[in-house]
């Protein structure tokens, strides 16, 4: 299947269109809210909540007996919120740390959910099959109403983000200051946390419990590398998320036996890896290049300083010296010498070198930052 | 009780003990979430091992999976060291990606073999007795019993051998390094043991229960004691109790054993979380309330001491000046009267000699910035507390 054919199929085929749209919207909304989770150092909250949502799904099914995904998601939302607030309670009221609280709620809720699921499986109700799709996610089960639901939540989330942008931003970076300004920090905090929970619950059906945390974090972590501005980061994260969704769906649709969730996560992981390496200001590659360049500059300065010490002893600073005497110390290479010539600090004549006027001036100011001029 | 039932309970208890020991240290070292990450990211290791050996219980598989677990830890630490993202984000990124690789490997290659993700994540203890070790035609018991038994023996051996090192490096890494132990060595040793335990236990009880058995008993024990040895014992006790009671719960409900054990762990934690004597939520709330009243009392006494003029000490004035709610004011006044700190004289409140002494001393402490000492002072002066 070539690309053109595939794109055509996306527009004509109902299932493929629904899934592509669904994963794209999901990626965008989780990316947006994930930015806040990452910056608030709540990255693992996503993992904990997605696990904690399981008993809610089971209970919702036990009560209603139907498999309407909206009702199940409501159950998931409630139990996710209970989990979140219990985590906060544990951290606030006891001396247990946040990692323990997260791990506790995650495993205990999930285990309880498993207990309920096995109980449900015993029921004569034939409706129960397929509840376990929430464990690993099945994008293929997305229908148009699910996509509408996602769009609705995303729109709501956008409105709230735009309305409370200032509050969210200030709470993110300086919680104490926010409090002194008279904002109700608790309310803002609860609002943003609830939206994160909502986004996670929304993604359960598509990518499942285990992979949800990556959906939340990866786009945000990738976006963080490219910018220092919150607005740009949220926008970029939404874009990355949407792209991972579309690309992941495309790849898994073009191959047999590939479930969509894991492929989306791996694509998002590739985005993260790419950003980690190639981001201009924070990326590992450019950091390494800067590091090497700095080291080379240092060596250059060292050579220049050594030459300066020699030239200093002569009345005429341009007095030529043999290159050989430079061998007496480390740090001199042909490369650095060439560089010095190129910068017009040093003149080379045969096997002799001499300092130029600019070279002498630079060398005088080398360890004297006061009259520094960049060249 | 049939022998299969006995064997299941034995395996569950051994898993509980084997998990509780590394779990205690993980909780104390604030690395609880690492165990969750490991339990998921061993999947690709298990899958690759399974392709090579075609046997879910082979030692090679355990080895490969344990190596993947250590790779997870190393990756998380590497990403964290680059400073690009925080530690929790690094954990949250690494394990789903490794897990995804595992899922895709299974989907692409293992269609016809018996290995699915549910089995790895959830496990089924009920089947454990059916997979037996046979040597020379003699039945030696279930395979998982042997696997988890040997892991437990290694864990206990290492715990006894390195108890001192573990203890010091957990509570004071700097001291450990200066004494000549390598905290990094201990760290990776602990991580290796956690990975091996996770792998050894996953096929009996599933990855999620392993996490629950590592974190929940240790966290519960941590709410009850501050002593490392006691904490280890308590968490082993809780683990085994929940394993056994969980089994019978599952038996009664005819539901998943792993789920029931986790549910029991959750119930026990909830009870201790609410009712633990010093660190439980109710105790904390009570203490906070007590402290609030006592701080109010102190404020009140200081106010009285500051104002010698009668008009400031008149009941009506106090009412509007301090502006407490009626109930709170009454509690504070009652407490002060009960402790003989104040006396009434025609609606004028004044300090007694005891109240004077208490307040002067408190002011001294506040001025010299030693507020902490006021707490001990209360014990000397107060007959009744808030």
What pLDDT, in 10s, does the model give residues A335-364? 777 777 787 777 777 777 777 877 777 777
Within this chain, do residues A142 and A269 fall inside the same structural domain, yes or no?
Answer: yes
Within this chain, do residues A188 and A168 fall inside the same structural domain, yes or no?
Answer: yes
Q: Could you report the per-residue pLDDT of B372-381, keeping only the tens digit for each?
A: 777 777 777 7
CA B237, B201, B79, A35: dihedral to nearest 10 degrees? -80
A136 burial level (CB within 10 Å; 0-12, 13-18, 19+): buried
Rounded to two decimals, the pTM is 0.84
Best to test chain A binding among B12, B43, B90, B93 (most A CBs inside 10 Å): B93
Nearest CA in chain B to A104: B216
For residue B366, the domain's CATH number is 1.10.10
pLDDT at A373: 47
Tell me the chain A residues in contact with residue B111 when contact means C-beta distances shorter than 8 Å. 257
Q: Could you report the per-residue pLDDT of A133-148, keeping only the tens digit for each?
A: 777 777 777 888 888 8
Within this chain, do residues A53 and A69 fall inside the same structural domain, yes or no?
Answer: yes
pLDDT at A128: 59
Last residue of a domain, one of B249, B276, B303: B276
Q: Is the CB of residue A34 less than 8 Å away from at least one CB of chain B?
A: no
Q: Determine the distance in angstroms separating the CA of A342 from the nearest CA of chain B, rounded to an integer.
A: 35
Does A131 map to a domain? yes
Does B299 map to a domain? yes
Does B160 map to a domain? yes
Q: Do A94 and B281 touch (CB under 8 A)?
A: yes
Closest listed residue to residue B31, CA positions, set B161, B173, B234: B173
Chains A and B form CB pairs within 8 A to the count of 193
Which is more confident, B385 or A180?
Answer: A180
Within this chain, do residues A298 and A268 fall inside the same structural domain, yes or no?
Answer: no
Within this chain, do residues A178 and A108 fall inside the same structural domain, yes or no?
Answer: yes
Nearest CA in chain A to B211: A107
For residue A294, the domain's CATH number is 1.10.10.10
Nearest CA in chain A to B117: A136
Last residue of a domain, one of A280, A312, A347: A280
Last residue of a domain, one of B252, B276, B300: B276
Mean pLDDT in order along chain B per 10 residues (386 residues): 84 92 93 88 84 75 85 90 86 90 80 59 70 72 84 93 90 87 87 87 77 93 93 96 93 87 94 90 88 82 78 70 70 80 79 82 80 73 67
Point out which residues pair with B314 in neighbouring strands. Answer: B348
Q: Is the CB of residue B113 less than 8 Å away from at least one CB of chain A?
A: no
Residue A303 belongs to domain spanning: 285-369
Within this chain, do residues B197 and B290 fall inside the same structural domain, yes or no?
Answer: no
For residue A246, the domain's CATH number is 1.10.3470.10
Q: Mean per-residue pLDDT for A231-235?
A: 94
Does B72 map to a domain? yes
Tell me the chain A residues in contact with residue B97 when contact means C-beta distances shorter than 8 Å. 214, 265-266, 269
Best to test chain B binding among A35, A99, A211, A255 (most B CBs inside 10 Å): A99
Within this chain, do residues A274 and A292 fall inside the same structural domain, yes or no?
Answer: no
Within this chain, do residues B233 and B335 fall inside the same structural domain, yes or no?
Answer: no
Both structure tokens of B343: 């006396």
Compute CA distances A266 → A214, A217, A245, A285, whole Å. 9, 12, 10, 21
pLDDT at A252: 86
Within this chain, do residues B100 and B14 fall inside the same structural domain, yes or no?
Answer: yes
Last residue of a domain, one of A262, A280, A298: A280
Closest listed residue to residue B264, CA positions, set B244, B237, B235: B244
Within this chain, do residues A254 and A299 fall inside the same structural domain, yes or no?
Answer: no
- The dihedrals phi and psi of B323, each to the nearest 5 degrees, come to 60, 45
Q: Determine the distance in angstroms separating the CA of B211 from the nearest CA of chain A, rounded to an integer.
A: 6
Within this chain, do residues A105 and A252 fall inside the same structural domain, yes or no?
Answer: yes
Within this chain, do residues B189 and B261 fall inside the same structural domain, yes or no?
Answer: yes
Within this chain, do residues B146 and B245 fall inside the same structural domain, yes or no?
Answer: yes
Within this chain, do residues A42 and A154 fall inside the same structural domain, yes or no?
Answer: yes
Residue B290 belongs to domain spanning: 282-381
Q: Could you say which of A47, A97, A217 has the minimum Cβ distance to residue B30?
A: A97
Does B386 map to a domain? no
**pLDDT grade for A77, boundaries at 50, 70 and 90:** very high
Average model confidence (pLDDT) for chain A?
Answer: 84
- Cα torsion A325, A330, A336, A338: sign: positive
Q: Is the CB of residue B258 less than 8 Å away from at least one CB of chain A?
A: yes
Kindly tell me if the per-residue pLDDT of A372 is higher than 60: no
CA distance B335 to B296: 10
Kindly tell me if the per-residue pLDDT of A6 is higher than 50: yes
Number of domains in chain B: 2
pLDDT at A375: 44
Within this chain, do residues A177 and A61 fall inside the same structural domain, yes or no?
Answer: yes
pLDDT at B243: 93
Q: Which residue has the tokens 């293992």?
A: B110
Within this chain, do residues A142 and A265 fall inside the same structural domain, yes or no?
Answer: yes
Q: Is the CB of residue A213 less than 8 Å away from at least one CB of chain B?
A: yes
Within this chain, do residues B324 and B246 fall inside the same structural domain, yes or no?
Answer: no
Q: Is the CB of residue A297 less than 8 Å away from at least one CB of chain B?
A: no
Both structure tokens of B145: 């019993």
């Amino acid at each position: 299947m070539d690309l053109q054919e595939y794109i055509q199929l996306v527009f004509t085929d109902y299932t493929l269109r629904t899934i592509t749209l669904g994963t794209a919207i999901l990626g965008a909304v989780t990316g947006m809210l994930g930015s806040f989770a990452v910056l608030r150092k709540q990255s693992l909250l996503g993992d904990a909540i997605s696990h904690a949502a399981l008993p809610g799904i089971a209970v919702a099914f036990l009560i209603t007996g139907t498999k309407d995904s909206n009702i199940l998601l409501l159950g998931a939302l409630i139990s996710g919120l209970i989990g979140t607030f219990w985590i906060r309670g544990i951290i606030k009221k006891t001396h247990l740390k946040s990692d323990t609280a997260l791990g506790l709620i995650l495993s205990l809720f999930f285990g309880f959910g498993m207990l309920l699921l096995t109980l449900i499986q015993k029921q004569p109700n034939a409706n129960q099959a397929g509840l376990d799709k929430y464990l690993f996610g099945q994008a293929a089960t997305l229908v148009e109403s699910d996509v509408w639901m996602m769009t609705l939540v995303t729109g709501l989330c956008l409105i709230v983000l735009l309305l409370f942008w200032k509050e969210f931003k200030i709470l993110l970076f300086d919680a104490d200051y926010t409090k002194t300004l008279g904002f109700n920090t608790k309310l803002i905090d609860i609002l943003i946390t609830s939206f994160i929970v909502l986004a996670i619950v929304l993604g359960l059906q598509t990518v499942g419990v285990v992979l949800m945390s990556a959906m939340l974090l990866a786009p945000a972590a990738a976006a963080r590398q490219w910018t220092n501005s919150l607005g740009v980061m949220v926008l970029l994260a939404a874009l990355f998320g949407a792209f991972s969704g579309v690309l992941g769906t495309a790849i898994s649709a073009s191959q047999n036996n590939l479930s969509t969730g894991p492929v989306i996560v791996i694509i998002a992981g590739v985005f993260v890896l790419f950003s980690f390496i190639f981001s201009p200001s924070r990326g590992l590659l450019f950091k390494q290049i800067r590091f090497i360049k700095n080291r080379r500059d240092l060596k250059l300065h060292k050579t220049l300083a050594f030459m300066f010490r020699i030239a200093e002893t002569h009345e005429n600073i341009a007095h030529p010296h043999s290159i050989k005497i430079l061998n007496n110390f480390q740090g001199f290479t042909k490369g650095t010498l060439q560089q010095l010539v190129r910068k017009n600090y040093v003149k080379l004549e045969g096997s002799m070198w001499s300092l130029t006027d600019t070279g002498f001036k630079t060398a005088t100011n080398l360890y004297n930052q006061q009259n520094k001029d960049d060249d | 009780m049939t022998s299969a039932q006995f064997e299941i309970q034995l395996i569950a208890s051994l898993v509980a003990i084997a998990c509780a020991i590394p779990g205690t240290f993980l909780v104390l070292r604030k690395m609880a979430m690492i165990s969750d990450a490991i339990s998921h990211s061993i999947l690709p290791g298990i899958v690759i091992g399974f392709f090579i050996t075609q046997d879910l219980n082979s030692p090679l598989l355990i080895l490969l999976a344990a190596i993947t677990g250590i790779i997870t830890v190393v990756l998380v630490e590497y990403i964290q060291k680059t400073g690009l993202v925080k530690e929790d984000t690094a954990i949250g990124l690494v394990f789903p990606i490794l897990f995804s690789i595992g899922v895709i490997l299974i989907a692409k290659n293992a269609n016809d073999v018996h290995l699915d993700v549910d089995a790895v994540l959830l496990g089924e203890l009920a089947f454990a007795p059916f997979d037996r070790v046979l040597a020379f035609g003699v039945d030696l018991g279930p395979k998982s019993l042997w696997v988890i038994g040997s892991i437990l023996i290694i864990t206990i051996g290492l715990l006894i051998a390195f108890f001192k090192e573990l203890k010091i490096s957990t509570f004071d890494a700097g001291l450990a390094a200066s004494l000549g132990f390598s905290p990094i060595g201990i760290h990776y040793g602990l991580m290796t043991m956690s990975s091996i335990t996770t792998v050894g236990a996953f096929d009996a009880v599933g990855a999620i229960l392993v996490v629950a058995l590592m974190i929940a008993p240790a966290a519960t024990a941590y709410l009850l004691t501050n002593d490392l040895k006691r904490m280890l014992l308590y968490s082993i006790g809780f683990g085994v109790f929940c394993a056994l009671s969980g089994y019978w719960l599952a038996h009664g409900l005819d539901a998943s054993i792993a789920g029931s054990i986790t549910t029991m762990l959750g119930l026990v934690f909830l009870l201790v979380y609410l009712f633990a004597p010093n660190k439980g939520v109710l105790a904390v709330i009570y203490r906070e309330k007590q402290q609030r009243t006592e701080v109010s009392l102190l404020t009140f006494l200081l106010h009285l001491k500051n104002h010698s003029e009668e008009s400031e000490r008149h009941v009506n004035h106090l009412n509007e000046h301090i502006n407490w709610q009626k109930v709170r004011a009454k509690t504070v006044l009652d407490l002060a009267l009960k402790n003989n700190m104040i006396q009434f004289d025609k609606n004028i409140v004044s300090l007694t000699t005891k109240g004077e002494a208490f307040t002067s001393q408190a002011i001294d402490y506040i001025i010299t910035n030693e507020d902490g000492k006021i707490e001990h002072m209360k014990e000397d002066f107060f007959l009744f507390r808030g």
